[in-house]
Amino acid sequence: MNALLPSLETIASLVKIGLLVGGLMTAAAYLVLLERWIAAWVQDRRGPNRVGIPLTKIRLFGLGQPLADGLKIILKEDFTPKHVDKVLYNAAPLLILAASLAIFAAIPFGSVLPPLNIPGLPDPVPFLVAPGLDVGVLWVFALSSIAVYGVLLGGWASNNKYGFLGGLRSSAQLLAYEIPLGLGLLGVVLAAGSLKLDVIMNAQAQSGIWYAFSQPLGFVVFMVASFAEAARLPFDLPEAEQELVGGYHTEYSGIRLLLFLVSEFLHMITASFLIVIMFLGGWHLWGLTGSGQEVSWVGAFIRCGVLSGKVLGVIVFFMLVRWSWPRFRFDQLMSLAWKVMLPLGIANLVVVATVEEFRPQLVEAIGHTGATWTAITGPWGLYFVGWITAGILTPSGTDNRPIRTTRPLDGSCDLPSQSLASHELAGTR
């Protein structure tokens, strides 16, 4: 075994890594532009539309803006405050960016290439950096939990109260929402029978039924949890500008701030990829892409295009939500995670497990089509029942008046809502 010469497989992996990292970094830069455009559209402004090709008058709808933004933030003074913990202060942005990039080792960005017939290279070549990783979903989970360290350490090392509060909020939020995220994901893993993301996509392509249709509740739970994991707006408490200046990156500037911002966008891209791959069929689209493993060159690129288009669609949805929803309060955030999302996720898991367990008997009893329809209508019934129950059980309005637990005369004065008051006490304490 010639260990020092890179094998063809290694070279193929390096090419894929290069494609991914380059593509992701560019995508992150242009997503900033897209986000600013969407913000401008939502707020009825024009948005960035001036920067085009440098030194000319050509504007190109502002497509040169990311370059200008990048240059500006890189050339800015990289100031290190005196009171910070130097080692961790420098390590935090590197850690968070490395973790958010390494996630993509397990995320497929297409289907497979047609057979190349190069000796030494396994055929067909998958669009995936680490095809041998049998624990793809867990890998994504592990690295996104490593990314918490970046936020937490950045906040702590800054030695700043705003940064510290942002880091603490963030770690509590990410820990809480990892549970509904995992529950939503477990349903898909159960149905597909594998932890590999490409196998999950193939399973949806083969049946033609995306998991968003057969597990609607799991889809919503997963989506809400991934919004929270990406710390996008209804859940952006870690860096709430109006309360915490910038949250955990208050003390950062220049290129290190850039690393934090890029990794935030990478988190959003990861979340979109996961939503598309696990619930929206991945590269599959009825009538356009086939469903098997044999593809032509055109087919392979159509599949890549379909996957990227879906991911872009989910990202645009993320951005629209950001500019149209207000932020949750912290106790609302926590009660949403523990009192709504967790029970709904467990209910979804139970129903999916039951359906998958009895599917062979169902097929035997009422035929293949009947079994499929049962497997779809059952979870939809649960979906409506679940939301109606959640809507009835959770208070629709919150009482924000100051708490008055005193009884002025004899202690018989009733509060507007006893349970709400004690709940708020718990939140403020």
Chain residues binding another protein by CB under 8 A are 1, 3-4, 88, 132-135, 138-139, 141-143, 145-146, 148-149, 152-153, 156, 164, 167-168, 171-172, 174-175, 178, 193-195, 404-408, 422, 425-426, 429
Closest separation in Å from C-beta 88 to another protein: 7
* Residues in the chain, total: 429
Beta carbon nearer to another protein, 226 or 289: 226
- Please give the C-alpha separations between residue 294 and each of 107, 125, 297, in angstroms, as whole numbers: 20, 11, 10
State the nearest-atom distance from the C-beta of 175 to another protein, in Å.
6
Distance in Å, CB of 171 to another protein, minimum = 5
Measured from the CB atom, the residue of 149 and 317 that comes closer to another protein is: 149
For residue 379, the surrounding DSSP H or E stretch is helix 342-393
Please say which residue, 63 or 91, places its beta carbon nearer to another protein: 91
Cα distance between residue 234 and residue 394, in whole Å: 18
Least distance (Å) from another protein to the CB of residue 184? 16
Tokens of 208: 């033609």
CB of 350 to another protein, least distance (A): 15
Residue 22 vs 122, nearer CB to another protein: 122
The DSSP-derived string for 141-200 is HHHHHHHHHHHHHHHHHTT-HHHHHHHHHHHHHHHHHHHHHHHHHHHHHHHHT-S-HHHH
Closest listed residue to residue 348, CA positions, set 195, 223, 174, 173: 223
- CB nearer another protein, residue 13 or residue 145: 145
**Nearest one of 231, 79, 240, 245 to 161, comparing CA atoms:** 245
Would you call 242 helix, strand, or coil by DSSP?
helix
Q: How far is the CB of 115 from another protein (least distance, A)?
A: 19
Beta carbon nearer to another protein, 176 or 258: 176
DSSP 8-state symbol, 248: G
| Count of other CB atoms within 10 angstroms of residue 222 | 31
DSSP 333-372: HHHIIIIIIHHHHHHHHHHHHHHHHHHHHHHHHHHHHHHH
Q: How far is the CB of 215 from another protein (least distance, A)?
A: 20
Based on CB atoms, which residue is closest to another protein, 42 or 415?
Answer: 415
* Cβ distance to another protein smaller for residue 95 or 280: 95
Q: How far is the CB of 87 from another protein (least distance, A)?
A: 8
356 phi and psi angles, rounded to 5 deg: -65, -35
Residue 361 CB, nearest approach to another protein (Å): 20
User: Could you give the CA distance from residue 28 to residue 22 in angstroms, rounded to a whole number?
Assistant: 10
- Identify the bridge partners of residue 112 per DSSP, sorted by sequence position: 126
Task: Determine the Cα–Cα distance for residues 234 and 232; give it in Å rounded to an integer.
Answer: 6
- Whichever of 61 and 358 has its CB closer to another protein, that residue is 358
